[in-house]
Structure 1
């Protein structure tokens, strides 16, 4: 049976960079956020979003993610409603992906909300990627077209690094990439993955 490694961390922690490194070791990686963006563009999901949030979050029938994010990250009830639309679809997508990768001994599921989505029970191990807050903010400012206030709203909607450290089996401290990758290699070695 395929063992699932849960990989998590807050926005800007570098978890996707770590996930892509693990993938170079021959371990399939499911990046939940990337898949959620694809799934969100399906006609069924777009219809549910339009039904719940109205035409205001669309520009010429194209979902305006920034408008939607502005609503959900300012109103926890709205975020919960969006999650009720997206999470079941992502779970189903992951289950299908997992079936398609069942020949592998290990796979990785990378998700910022690994513990919030109540699916961590089936993980073989869990790994947290943690990074000092100023570095996370700097990374997000460089990557995303947003401001510090919006970043803080998103961070406030996620588990803190301390909570992740407490919940996870392993922790990768991701301030310097080369040191972080050495930590990944050490974890993989413990799992007898080279």
Structure 2
């Protein structure tokens, strides 16, 4: 008999769709949340598990014992093959961190795995269901262009690397609209109630 584990709900959505806000709503509802981006930041920080591997690949990207993301980006731009080498070094560390998180929350009925590139990176194979956050294109555009330093050109480049919102919605098990915060919060509450009450 296999050991009990929580229901693993994957959260994803394109830039500007309200993913971080929605993840916070799950946390407020008592659901443990694992954040892929935060994990990478931790792995890249001084003393992080990814630092030695990246130092071996790109010594110039490690400053003061931590990975400088700007320098790492410059290094990646020099050769397309470098991204595969970086992913081969970092992805197992991210996967191990996620597995540890799930094990630590084995007694919970539900955990949320916040993974921005869940479909693009194949992470959907590691979850039991997927919830996609979505908003109309004009809302998405307004939100993103309100960010400091963001330009229409930069937005188009980011979107070109992400699975289109319409396809994410089609492939998702659940969709949460984020135009209204109150409606999104209600949708989160409904999903938490459906998939398993937290102990909180």
- The TM-score, its normalising length taken from structure 2, stands at 0.80
1:118-158 deviations in Å (ceiling 9; x for gaps):
33234222100123344334434444544443333233222
Q: Give 2:39's aligned residue.
A: 35
Cα separation, partners in 2 of 1:123 and 1:63, compared to 1, 3 Å? closer
Structure 1 runs not aligned, ≥5 long: none
Q: 1:152 to 1:65 in 2, by over 3 A?
A: farther
CA-atom RMSD, angstroms? 2.8
For 1:103-142, what aligned pairs fall within 5 Å after superposition? 103-142=107-146
Aligned to 2:51: 46
Structure 2 counterpart SS, 1:172: strand
Provide closer, same or farther for how the CA distance between residues 122 and 51 of structure 1 changes in structure 2, counting only shifts above 3 A: closer
Equivalent of residue 190 in structure 2, options 179, 186, 191 = 186
178-187 vs 91-100, which moves further: 178-187
Q: Name which one, 1 or 2, has greater alpha-carbon Rg.
A: 2
- Determine the C-alpha separation between the residues in 1 that align with 2:16 and 2:39: 18
Q: Report the CA distance between 1:59 and its aligned residue.
A: 5.2
> Given the superposition, is the C-alpha separation of residues 46 and 21 from structure 1 closer, same or farther in structure 2, using an over 3 Å criterion?
same
Matches within 5 A, 1:2-17: 2-17=6-21
For residues 50 and 150 of structure 1, what CA distance do their matches in structure 2 show?
29
1:150 maps to 154
Retained in 2: the 8 A contact 1:73–1:153? no
How far apart in 2 are the matches of 1:142 and 1:149?
A: 14
**Partner deviation per Cα, 1:23-56 (whole Å, 9 max, x = no partner):** 111111101111111012245522322333441x
TM-score, scaled to structure 1: 0.82
Poorly superposed stretches of 4+, deviation over 6 Å: none
